[in-house]
Chain A
Amino acid sequence: MPDGLFIFFAALTLGAALLLVLSRNAVTSAMGMILALVGVAADFFLLDAYFLGVLQVLVYAGAVMVLFLFIIMLLDTEDPTGAYPWKTAALGLATFFLLAAGVLWLFHWSGAVSAVKAGATPPELSTNPAEFTTAAKSFGRLLYTKYLLPLEIAGFLLLVALVGVVSLSKDNPESNA
């Protein structure tokens, strides 16, 4: 039986994600999304990736979801029809269970992920900076040595996205007539 905390957060994450998918109200969906992302961040903590967990909360739950909420409220997307679309929801759940069975088979029964090889518990944490450590320092070391070029490209990508968003959201009088 796995760790209690893991079960709790896994259930939280999946439940929140279910809320996201099933809710008709976009704001409720966004709330579910935030909760699911916090659950993922908690799982990061359980995996000793503290820095990434913090990052996840800050960037996703903090920045990205606020942006989503803004847009949802700005666009005012009320679902037009009255009754809850039970048929679609049931179809979606059926699809989900089908795919979930595939996932369980792949990771549990197929034997593709060997429990012996990976170990029943995470391996001991090391302080060797070349291996997995909890310190944020080791991110910095890798980012500025081995992954320097991807880092630069990512920075450039952000710049490009910035410019793109500005030009997209500029009021174009011709196309907006």
Chain B
Amino acid sequence: MPSDLSSLVHWILFLPLGAAALSALFLRRAGALAAWFSTAVAFVIAGLALRLLTSATGDVTWHVELAKFGGVSLGFGYLIDANARLMLFVVSFVAAWIHLFSVGYMKEDPARGRFFAGLSIFMFSILGIVVADNLLMTFVYWELVGFSSYMLIAHYFDKDFAAAASKKAFITNRVGDLGFILGIAMCLSLYGTVDFAALKDHAAAAKTIPVAVGALLMCGFLGKSAQFPLHVWLTDAMAGPTPVSALIHAATMVAAGVYFMARVSFLLAPEVLHFIAISGAGMAALAGLCALAQTDIKKSLAYSTLAHLGIMGCALGLGHPELALMHMAMHAFFKATLFLGAGSVIHGCHHEQDMLKMGGLLKKMPLTAATFIAATLSNCAVPFLAGWYSKDAIIEAAYHGDHLAIFAFLALAALATCLYSGRMIRLVFLGEANSEEASHAHESPWTMTLPLVVLGLVYSVAGGFLAHAIIPAGSLKPIEHALGEVSFHLTAPSTIVGLLSLALGFCGALKFYGTVRGADALQVVSPRTYHLLEHRWMDGLYRWYVDSVQRRVSEFIAFLDLLLINGVAVRWIGGGVPAVLGYLSGRSFHRGQTRAYAFWIVLGSLFLAWFLIAR
């Protein structure tokens, strides 16, 4: 490949790092300057990524060796294949508009410099994952993503719930990362390399891949992409500013896991894939239903993200990583729009997040409402909108797969998606205003609506068509191939499921939630069901585990430590030996005289010298 493409990647990767450093070092006081600077850089990166996407096809590789330990070489390099091009573009494009949105949203925040420096370092980390050509580099950037998300979620660190949420996200991710790094170690010991290309050759040469490799690598994916059972952090991560939620949920953090799994899909044994598919489908259905029991607009969207992540995981598990990536890209666009729309609504309603207190915003915030509804329809997979292409393809693939259960779960997920989407639209935009704040709502400034319009209308609606127009055929080959495999026709099961759930779910929700005002209809009709969905069972399980199992074990270990190490080893041996020796030598060891100490040192070194010479 021509070298100018790899230098393009240098720019894409290191511009955000430079921007972050500059903002963090010099622009912490100059918030407005930092905001616009960061945003400009983000747009430049998006432009560069677009250029990379539309450039000639073929893999861009670039590698420099950093260290060599025996036969193991560790390096820093790029591997830009078709997936990476697409991912680069999606990430940088969505992130650029989120930057612009943040300029408006964070206008009154005193710590803007820190916030935008955080956004830039987040960009740097995620782009590093995308371009990395080996496992270790991926892991380094993986941790950087963890760190920067921690920083961004804890933006309002003086609030207890934000600090707790960031800690929860960080620790949950560490649990997954433990598996990840063990997986890397296992790759090293089995194949002697962490390089993706070399690993692929090894995997192709070997008949079977050990289950453990894939299972361990999957742990990282479970944490970062918030898959069951490590999904608990995602909904709490809403404590961060709304643009951060958009960035984490739409474009970057959660997508990183899916992208990484697609990149190492050749290392995944069938058993691992099977687990991912089942758990993904199950989580998709469950999270979709849980979204019904949230009154906070951002939390509701977070559960929606969980559902879509489940769908992506399911596609991965079914052996269609391209479909997963495609859904990830489509989801990035419409979910970013949804979150930014939610941010705009929250901003407009003077930081009211409770959906039950909103209502009737369609007239007051027409642009936001229009884009939000368009994105919601895409979310529900209305035919010919962006979400429809990928989601229906995945459902179709599930139908052709071996397990009907997966298909059933996905169908349930589709229904649930339509239900909570309809509920959201009904509660937020239709009907009458349910609170003082909502009745005084106002449309947001252009910096916030422009990203909404661009992301929402252009890409959610016309994403499929536009993609074909601007991207050369070769770049999207994996996706086209995957789409070609699953046929579209009206009587296909996926289409039937999609249209049925749309008709039943969406319209039903619109009608059902119109019946009660100022309260949740489901809670009124069936409080037990509502509680079942609202209660956070996994958190309870973890709490029980930490309280009852882990604490007991650690207390026991602490007891052993006190008894054996501290008591026997330190007190008896450490205290006993000098006591005996001191008694024997007339207590000449410890007189506090410097010369006595020197004497013993000399004696010791003489003994050592004798020992060495006599040997």
Interface residues of A (CB under 8 A from B): 106, 110, 112
B613 at the interface (CB under 8 A from A): yes
The CA of A106 and the CA of B613, in the complex, are separated in Å by: 9
The CA of A110 and the CA of B613, in the complex, are separated in Å by: 10
Residues on A with C-beta less than 8 A from B613 are: 106, 110, 112
Q: Which 3 A-B pairs have the closest CB atoms?
A: A106-B613, A112-B613, A110-B613
The CA of A110 and the CA of B614, in the complex, are separated in Å by: 11
The CA of A113 and the CA of B240, in the complex, are separated in Å by: 74
Interchain residue pairs with CB less than 8 A apart (3) = A106-B613, A110-B613, A112-B613
Interface of A is mostly: loop
Contact with A along B599-614 (1 / 0, CB 8 A): 0000000000000010
Q: Which residue of chain A has the shortest Cβ distance to B599 in the bound complex?
A: A95
Residues on B with C-beta less than 8 A from A106 are: 613
Contact with A along B490-509 (1 / 0, CB 8 A): 00000000000000000000
Measured CB to CB, the closest approach of chain A to B148, in angstroms, equals: 34
Measured CB to CB, the closest approach of chain B to A130, in angstroms, equals: 29
Residues on B with C-beta less than 8 A from A112 are: 613
Measured CB to CB, the closest approach of chain B to A93, in angstroms, equals: 16
Contact with A along B571-615 (1 / 0, CB 8 A): 000000000000000000000000000000000000000000100
Measured CB to CB, the closest approach of chain A to B598, in angstroms, equals: 12
The CA of A160 and the CA of B613, in the complex, are separated in Å by: 37
The CA of A112 and the CA of B615, in the complex, are separated in Å by: 13
Q: Which residue of chain B has the shortest Cβ distance to A110 in the bound complex?
A: B613
The CA of A144 and the CA of B613, in the complex, are separated in Å by: 36
Measured CB to CB, the closest approach of chain A to B534, in angstroms, equals: 59
The CA of A151 and the CA of B613, in the complex, are separated in Å by: 32
Measured CB to CB, the closest approach of chain A to B88, in angstroms, equals: 40
Measured CB to CB, the closest approach of chain B to A95, in angstroms, equals: 9
The CA of A131 and the CA of B304, in the complex, are separated in Å by: 76
Q: Which residue of chain B has the shortest Cβ distance to A106 in the bound complex?
A: B613
The CA of A112 and the CA of B613, in the complex, are separated in Å by: 9
The CA of A34 and the CA of B613, in the complex, are separated in Å by: 33
The CA of A168 and the CA of B366, in the complex, are separated in Å by: 71
Q: Which residue of chain B has the shortest Cβ distance to A112 in the bound complex?
A: B613
Measured CB to CB, the closest approach of chain B to A157, in angstroms, equals: 24
Measured CB to CB, the closest approach of chain A to B122, in angstroms, equals: 36
B residues 438-458 in Cβ contact with A at 8 Å: none
Contact with A along B340-383 (1 / 0, CB 8 A): 00000000000000000000000000000000000000000000
Measured CB to CB, the closest approach of chain B to A81, in angstroms, equals: 16
Measured CB to CB, the closest approach of chain A to B594, in angstroms, equals: 15
The CA of A50 and the CA of B613, in the complex, are separated in Å by: 33
The CA of A129 and the CA of B172, in the complex, are separated in Å by: 62
Measured CB to CB, the closest approach of chain A to B612, in angstroms, equals: 11
Measured CB to CB, the closest approach of chain B to A104, in angstroms, equals: 14
